[in-house]
Amino acid sequence: MPVLAIHLGAPRLLPDSCSRLGSRKSIRAPARSGLRIRAVLDLPKPTITNGTSPDKEVEALRADVLHELRYRVAPQSINEAKLYESVAWSVHNRLVEGLDATNDHWREQDVKQVYYLSAEFLMGRTLTSAVHNLGLGGAYGAILKDYGAALETVASEERDAALGNGGLGRLAACFLDSMATLDLPGWGYGIRYRYGMFKQVIREGYQIEVPDYWLDEGNPWEVRRPDTTYRVGFAGTSDGASWTPGDEVIAEAYDVPIPGYKTTTVGSLRLWNAKPVAEFDLDAFNVGDYDGATGAKRRADDITAVLYPNDATEYGKELRLRQQFFFVSASLQDTLARYLATHSDLAGLPDKAVFQMNDTHPTIAVAELQRLLTDVHGLAWDEAWAITTKSLAYTNHTVMPEALEKWPVAVLQKLLPRHMEIIQRINDEWLASIREHVEAKVAKAPARPAPAEEEADEADDESDTTASGKKPAKKAPLDPVEEALKEYSIVQENPWKAGEMLVNMAYLAVVGSKAVNGVAAIHSEIIKTDLFPQFVEVFPSKFQNKTNGVTLRRWLAYCNPALSALITEALGSDAWVKDAGQLAGLEPRAEDPAFRARWREVKTTAKAALAARIAETTGYEVTTDAMFDIQVKRIHEYKRQLLNAISLIVRYQEIKAMSPEERKKVVPRVSVFGGKAASAYYMAKKIVKLVGAIGAKVNTDPEIGDLLKVIFLPNYNVSEAEVIIPAAELSQHISTGGTEASGTSNMKFALNGCLIIGTMDGANIEIGENTGLENLFIFGEAAEDVPRLRAERKDFTDYDPRYTKALKAVKDGEFGDADYFEDLNAVTRGPFCNDWFLVANDFATYMDAQRRVDELYGDQEEWTRRSILYTARNGFFSSDRTINEYAKDIWGVTPAPPPAPTPTA
């Protein structure tokens, strides 16, 4: 149906699908239909939400929005998408002013700065958080009313920045927000991916990956810095002292300003775009080598095209290493250039710079910083190594083997020959430095008897001859010290491929860093006892814990404005937005029936918004009378979406078997899944398909009705989370014990008053300690028992009959695609069972926990009381607290707020 849109000249009709991005809502003409843009200045002045009278700042904002609309956006007609662009560019102007002032101040004060190196920054949309952090939400909202629009609907036109995938990238984004809010000098450093990871499309139940064209209409939230470029080399030759790259690209900087909350500080995320040294080879083109003419550009484009390219091919593996080295090298070169602009002695670098390596992706920084200091800046090896090890810090985020990168020596020698030499020297000197420690350790160890087969070999030496009649050479006895040193070595043999040597990047990071931290209490203990115990022996004080946190601005105040308003009213101010500890003041209100009723009203409103999103996205209608049960996170076997899915088959089977009277007692449930499976992750994609297949059957079964709905929301991202999390009543964090480092979505759900069902894993433990373990639905085997249980899997027989019945339904094709799902059955049960993540072991206790969930949900007063306690007791999980700990315990960085600007007359 065509709608009337405001036009620069006369009114005209536009179709609803007036944008190639899909259906856009055009602004319906207000009373002044056909209004010309310049006449907007004559409209009544807006009312600012804080009650102050309009001032020159607001007039400047109005004029700025109009200027951007007329001259930068220059639309033929005005719709919400065009208003978004105009407001975003207006905000951009103020952010750039703040960014420049902040960096000028830091330079003048010569402050120490932190440089946060991360392959991911999952920023989400920027407009809402930016205007509210700047304190301009009311002003821009009022200005948009001039055009008949609202800030929240205009903000929804923004695309999510596709710079990350899951918790790792979202944590990095929260950290940047907190660093700016706490006035801590620092930068984020990453890659400006053109297509992100991928956009997830569900087609006939299968995940399909398509490019995420998030940049094709421009990005108001970045500032291109064409004068800030560095060369990054690959391949070539090294003579042991200098490197001659065989291929080079240009790293060009783009800055994304990060405004702090109620402060003048505007931090920066600097992203690198790859460009060829020569855009086009005309000579190659002229001789008919058309591919060669543009080959350099294609190779450069590949580096910054996609987050985590599929590494199932050799080129994909090499491309990942290229990406990591590209952004690390550019970032280190940039930082050294910034330091040398005001200092002449690199010995002082650790006093002015600290580099935080976010997981193993940036850990090539150890070798690259050492190379830059020695090969480029001429420092002696030992002097450079002292600087390197005082300047770098490493955060470990996982115990999963695939995330603890190990690069083949052959790949490193091919792509980064000088760095492989440096790593080998680091390793040699490291092993030499601990030889005495290892010798003493071996001497204290009890002697081990020779293996039986070796004894037999020795006994048979007399008669064991070759065809030539000669005895084979005896095997040299293994040197126990050399064998023990292998446990410490950065360069190790691949246990699955004889003769292939690997560089353990986590070990390189531990040796080359001044501090190593885990991200939750249990995880930090696991990395000391399971991942790096030998390193803890050598330098125990290097290892720390820094429990993750999330920013309350985005994950409560802005994404859940109704609940935020209720909290502010109850506490008497909005100071809790920056001081999360004040949330504890809500605890007494949990005992107030009237307050609980208002809390439920807010939750119901949020559920209605999610129900509308579900209907719009999937076509399924769900009732807000049902419990909203959510599991949204990266699809992975260790996160056990499969456990949840099998339980839903059981729930479906049980409801089907009930009488009409029994069904009246069932707690209705809407189970929502969301998350992406990595493009090469075969099993994860099957889980996506199974969830969709369960939903397709359950959601159309007239006997089931509203008692159960199973929903998979495609392309889960930050903006989807901002709708899902406020509506959630139960959230699932059900990883196998000891496999989830921390989790941050559990914190977001808890802060929004959502109860948790989960294992004693990651940050669930600390959430339980804060909330009260009796208020969580805990199940599952303890982390310390998991290794034993895995070893016993081949003899496991204690299958819950509900579990086997559900799997039989899948095997029998009740959910279609029986052959496709056969692998899932094999993982969980069968003669070749490989139930590594102990789905069967934990199934019975999981179902018991779900029974307790249903029982408690029937008592809405008690459920709501606990919901309030979740919000009141989890202020600890603010990223402001986490960043304060990093700043004090690792970085040695102190707040340096720029002075407030002088008011103009």
Distance of alpha carbon 669 from alpha carbon 112, whole angstroms: 52
Distance of alpha carbon 494 from alpha carbon 501, whole angstroms: 6
Residue in 192, 397, 406, 578 annotated catalytic: 397
pLDDT along the chain (905 residues), means of 10: 33 30 36 35 36 66 94 93 97 96 97 98 96 95 93 95 91 98 98 94 96 93 97 95 94 98 97 88 64 76 92 89 98 98 96 97 98 97 98 93 86 97 98 95 78 46 50 72 95 92 97 97 94 95 97 97 98 97 98 98 98 97 98 96 98 97 97 95 96 98 97 97 98 96 96 98 96 97 96 90 96 94 80 83 98 98 98 98 98 95 59
Joined together, the tokens standing for residue 101 give 């002032």
Query: What's the confidence (pLDDT) of residue 69?
Result: 95
Domains of the chain: 37-109+133-159 (no CATH), 114-124+162-399+508-549+887-894 (3.40.50.2000), 624-874 (3.40.50.2000)
Query: What's the confidence (pLDDT) of residue 290?
Result: 58
Q: Coil, strand, or helix at residue 44?
A: coil
**Which residues have CB under 8 Å from 357's CB, separation 6+?**
117, 363, 365, 392, 393, 394, 395, 509, 513
DSSP-assigned letters across all residues of 298-331? HHHHHHTT-SS--TTSHHHHHHHHHHHHHHHHHH
- Catalytic, 634? Answer yes
Distance of alpha carbon 591 from alpha carbon 866, whole angstroms: 10
Q: Coil, strand, or helix at residue 358?
A: strand
- Catalytic, 865? Answer no
Query: What's the confidence (pLDDT) of residue 27?
Result: 40
Q: Return the number of other C-beta atoms located less than 10 Å from residue 479's C-beta.
A: 10
Q: Which of 406, 407, 363 is nearest to 388 (CA)?
A: 363
Q: What is the bridge-based pairing of β-strands 12-14 and 3-7?
A: antiparallel
DSSP-assigned letters across all residues of 254-312? EEEEEEPTTSS-EEEEEEEEEEESSS--HHHHHTT-HHHHHHHHHHHHHHTT-SS--TT
Distance of alpha carbon 509 from alpha carbon 328, whole angstroms: 14
Distance of alpha carbon 430 from alpha carbon 241, whole angstroms: 20
Q: Coil, strand, or helix at residue 441?
A: helix
Q: H helices within 704-778, ranges in order?
A: 718-727, 745-751, 764-771
- Catalytic, 486? Answer no
Residue in 7, 640, 686, 748 annotated catalytic: 748
Distance of alpha carbon 199 from alpha carbon 213, whole angstroms: 9
SS (H, E, C) 696-715: HHHCCCCCCHHHEEEEEECC
- Catalytic, 744? Answer yes
- Catalytic, 686? Answer no
- Catalytic, 397? Answer yes
Its pTM stands at 0.91
Q: Coil, strand, or helix at residue 223?
A: strand
Residue in 603, 634, 669, 709 annotated catalytic: 634
**Which residues have CB under 8 Å from 59's CB, separation 6+?**
none
Residue in 633, 669, 733, 811 annotated catalytic: 633
**Which residues have CB under 8 Å from 350's CB, separation 6+?**
387, 390, 391
In contact, 503 and 409? CB cutoff 8 Å? yes
Residue in 263, 335, 398, 744 annotated catalytic: 744
Query: What's the confidence (pLDDT) of residue 799?
Result: 94
In contact, 271 and 253? CB cutoff 8 Å? yes
Q: Is 707 exposed, middle or buried (0-12, 13-18, 19+ CB in 10 A)?
A: buried
Residue in 639, 685, 811, 829 annotated catalytic: 639
Distance of alpha carbon 605 from alpha carbon 555, whole angstroms: 17
